[in-house]
Chains A and B, each alone.
Chain A
């Protein structure tokens, strides 16, 4: 903080002191990552084991919860902070491992068993001996990451406003309210170069400025946080809301001050029940301490936030559809040409809509200065970006890296490449609006502009890695099925065009297509692109066009040779058993759901083709690799 900032108001000082008590207690602090990924991996059992174990041993330790540090692959993660030492992360924990951990702690020892790494704390010592516990910076998954917006995820308790204050939370808000004009704030955001993290990449400061300047009949302006993270394969916003919800709120309050809004909304998707609970708790706590509501921190500025829950419609991430949904109408998009949200958005008033990650970046820009933010990333895409690195890659999870890092670095250095020595084939970015980028283009930098040139887009941050076992025709078909279901049906090019594209792709996948199918598919794609009403339709053909562009020969193999080289398209597959390799163990017989496999024990088995539904269960279980898929 700068010297000119007036002393923190008492309420913030008190929150901070209380937060330090639980964040850096004088006894060991044991925090279990209980975000959705953690819970899916068994974190609740680990938490219960730790609570019971601490009580039964009479240990003087604090057991608490935290969000996800991003390495979802090795959840449940337990974060142990023994006073005087660095934080140590323990991975893939189980109740039994938790018991062992407590036994060591009870003996005053920080064990190296199951330790993933340690995170340096100021004024503290290294844990373990002779480097038995590596530093965070030595773990490939974390080494190249620059954690700013996710810095507190996996450390602070997301329900604790005190702990958020203790890591410097709300000091940006105080700086804004005590010494900056709304114009100063807008200028700072403009100077930072921050662009919308939801995918479109519109300059945030300019959006705010337009909204502030737009005329409102009664002076009312609204602000919305888009937490309708609908792109499949992307969960950055869930990670932030479950890990550090107060940073999103702080960004929104600052934004409200800048544009002159007194009411804000968070539109959160129905599929994120935990994020919603944590967000609602955060709003209630912020109200209790006077950080939301009337006369915030005694500055005369008033602003409040309401949560609006989506209904599971992908198109509601689109601004006009989202607005319609909050207003209680059917979430269908409207023509944007004549209707810009910044001028006439929610209830016909000027409205700023930014996504979760964008809002969470705002306090950092204010606290550290726009130059700090602009010094990260590339010239036109400043700052860091959170990505979900998922699919056929060894290390999966949420990562935060400076913009401009190459796909290759992300997939190989952080992700460790595809598992089981498989060959990397493509990476899918930008959700259903994006495309598949082939291995040959992996040296492209990831920013708002470079990936668009390759027929995809950076999008909101989903990065789904695909190896040789992924069929590109199947991927294109998958996205058309997705969009067919999610198209609102209002305009014909999208509603009918996507359906036809799906039909042609199904024909290709099932061996019924001809050479003309491909040109018809391309022609259709262009029409849908040109003639659809909203972003969903306009970008719907991208997964088709990008796969044809980069993987045309794979399409041709399906059409001409009736063959799916990746072994995915079921109609083109046939399973059989290699009699020479089969040991007759019977594993496939047990696995087969239709009883299609027969054979005596310890004799070669065979598959009755008429009964086979090509589910691949036998292929998965055969220990001798005797099941042949061709």
Chain B
């Protein structure tokens, strides 16, 4: 095959200029600030509160998406009902919709005079400008992941397995719990991890609905933005480094997970 030198050279040069060299600035900038200053920035109460909210809300959002994502994937693959094709296509909306559009729209819906905010207000539930609003935004942004990782696995599932279980006397629920469920676990965990990773770094859809109250509804990416606006480049970089470490750990876990899933499916 021709073209190795050309394509490989272009790929590596492009990646280096656009990704590797720019990312290395994070390491240089942190190295220049010293351990004490780094530690002081990332353990300040406001930063810790933001990490608590970002991690907590991302986990809750991804968990909501696991529960409903499984139901949505199952419904879209197994049943035929009017509007199915449209809903299937719409699942990717959070991918395609710019995050600032998602942000202002969710805020409009969940504000106290919004369509849903109005319904929840008499119950004493406030969504916009509370941590609950952050969870709503992160659920929206992570919605496609579990659905899109589980869907192909369900499609490939051989009906013979379920028929065999049924002939052996299993009820539908037993078949689901013992036969189908275990086969969906790797894809579900991958979907959870992807949704979590995406939610952790998310900025645009959250900053409008969260209200950005210090110690209460500030997410980590917002703090990086704040530090930059105050020209505190070192502070911004220190927080960014911690976030990157968390994200890369997630990416590593996802890939390990995938390899495990592939090995498992090859053994089966």
Say whether A associates with B: no
List the interface of chain B (C-beta within 8 A of A).
Answer: none
**Chain A contact residues, CB within 8 Å of chain B:** none
